[in-house]
Amino acid sequence: MATDETRNVLITGVSRGLGLETARGLLETGWTVYGVSRARSEGWEALEKEHPGRARFHAADLRKPDAAVEDLFASFVPYAVPLHGLVNNAAEAYDDLLTNLDLGRLESMFATNVFSAMALSRLAVRNMLYHQTRGALVHVSSVSVHIGFKGLSLYAASKGALEAFSKGLAREWGERGIRSNCVVPGFMETDMSAGLSAEDRARIYRRTALKSATDCVSVAAAVRFLLSDETASVTGQALRVDAGA
């Protein structure tokens, strides 16, 4: 069994928010992180300095899964690198009322949130089969799948697709030791949610048991947990980390 010191994980959306926090935690426990976003950020560059050689970065736009994902596996994580984990975290949130639906924006969101995640999972599973690494896939969903939010039906639909995909993958690849799970965060105070008014925030917090936002650190810990051997018997699950929403 590989130790954390010899493990490789591919994480999308590492420039900020939950992806950056997840990368930080995994680097601190010895993993080598292959990080993807459209651009490097100061936060990511700090991780590169703290963990020389183990924080690797590739710029890719996941709205174009065909080109981006093939190129990523050809040049960034080639087959010679055994993958032990994939975290499908990058996402965009197209929030609006249904009556304002713009199909172009919807397609763009599904390309990033769903099609790229599927294309990345395909190549990650092939890598894991080749190296027999019994790896783990973790997909980042959203509490909006389980609790309706006005204006989030389109975004929630993309995350619901990811949850269904994950459950199917768990059945499909379990016999080869490959696991697939979702982490389901509640409202986190990141760039994605920065547009919400103070009033909307207060309303969302009131609906949680803890009366608070969900801490990225808790969600990142759940991702690490699902990647670890301690959860070798956990697959097909959606683990909610949502302040008790």
13 or 85: whose CB is closer to ligand NAP?
13
> What are the residues binding ligand NAP (CB under 6 A)?
12-19, 37-39, 60-63, 89-92, 112, 140, 142-143, 185, 187-188, 190-193
Q: Residue 163 in 3-state DSSP?
A: helix
To the nearest whole angstrom, how small is the minimum distance from the Cβ of residue 3 to ligand NAP? 28
Which residue is at the shortest CB distance from ligand NAP? 17
**11 or 133: CB nearest ligand NAP:** 11
Residue 127 or 142: the one with the smaller Cβ distance to ligand NAP is 142
Amino acid occupying residue 132? Q
Q: How far is the CB of 116 from ligand NAP (least distance, A)?
A: 7
Residues 192 and 215: their CA atoms lie apart, in Å, by 14
Q: Give me the least distance between CB of 177 and ligand NAP, in Å please.
A: 26
Q: Comparing C-alpha atoms, which of 116, 113, 221 is closest to residue 157? A: 113
Helix extents (H) in 55-115: 65-75, 103-110
By C-beta, is 13 or 135 nearer to ligand NAP? 13
- 3-state DSSP call for residue 91? coil
Closer by beta carbon to ligand NAP, 83 or else 93: 93
Rounded distance, CA 3 to CA 23, Å? 17
84 contacts 7 by C-beta, under 8 angstroms = yes
In the bound complex, what is the minimum distance in angstroms from residue 54's beta carbon to ligand NAP?
Answer: 19
Compute CA distances 10 → 31, 54, 152, 176, 189, whole Å: 10, 12, 28, 20, 24
